[in-house]
Structure 1
């Protein structure tokens, strides 16, 4: 009798675990599916240290560069905007704030403190700070594409 009860309990636990994993996989798939159908409104890269602030704001209508108080507007091609959107679609935006910086030079003004903010359907996703030029590996392709487009 004990063997039957024990076997039933183990079987019940395994079934519950499988159902839970299935739900988590479905939820994860829904996040990425929703992310793909959402519209990216803007992407902003800010790089700051004492005495210097650079903000690059990318929108489908163009690129705004702000260095301290100087502001310039540049055109952004549809190809570049689409490429940035493609890079964004590869990132789990819900986890963007948890990606860790590989270096910490910004703590002692050894590097600009950088951050990426992505606005999708009026919701902002903001990365943790990282050293300029050394983003978390998950953000490296997007960061490099943004900085190349900003030149």
Structure 2
């Protein structure tokens, strides 16, 4: 009888710890608060911020705000989860046109779990390979919203 109680207790403990791990993974997904893209050169400053359900787009201080569909935000979250946010500041840009003002100097900032993770600077339109899907999705959302 004592063995049955011990075995039952161990099984319940294992099941409860598995549920805790699943819950903590779900919370991590929800902790991506916003993603920002900043592009700058001598005459232009573009700041784009995406959060759950909202797009804030600023060109040279003129700010526009629009709603975005949940599936667009879900796609952004999916691409952010593929990125090692701890290491994005060390990613190397494939080109250097921004050094001569031939391209806007860009960087992506991910706010996750209350911390900001900023990428290294790269040329607009040519991000490091690890950020390409995220960058392209941000650009797609912006183009969709501009055309409306």
Q: Structure 1-normalised TM-score?
A: 0.75
Instruction: Say whether residues 1:58 and 2:50 are aligned partners.
Output: yes
Where does residue 110 of structure 1 map in the other structure?
102
CA deviation map 1:47-68 (0-9, x unaligned) = 0000110000001030000000
- Compute the displacement of 1:36 (Å): 7.7
The change in CA–CA distance for 1:98 and 1:36 in structure 2 (over 3 A counts) is farther
Could you tell me which runs of 5 or more consecutive residues in structure 1 were left unpaired when the two chains were aligned: 1-32
Shift of 1:95: 0.5
1:143 pairs with 2:135: yes
Instruction: List aligned pairs for 1:31-70, cutoff 5 A.
Output: 37-38=28-29, 39-70=31-62
Residue 87 (1) aligns with residue 74 (2): no
Are 1:125 and 2:117 matched, yes or no? Answer: yes
**Which residue of structure 1 aligns with residue 70 of structure 2?**
78
- Aligned-residue Cα RMSD (Å) equals 1.6
Q: Distance in 1 between matches of 2:93 and 2:81?
A: 21
The superposition leaves residues 9-45 of structure 1 with CA deviations (integer Å, 9 ceiling, x where unpaired) of xxxxxxxxxxxxxxxxxxxxxxxx9798251111000
Number of residue pairs matched by the alignment: 119
User: d(CA) in 2 for partners of 1:35 and 1:95?
Assistant: 22
- Point out 4+ residue stretches in structure 1 off by more than 3 angstroms: 33-36
Instruction: Tell me how far 1:74 sits from its aligned partner.
Output: 1.1
Conserved? CA contact 2:53–2:73, under 8 Å: no
Cα deviation, residue 94, structure 1: 0.5
SS of 1:55's equivalent? strand
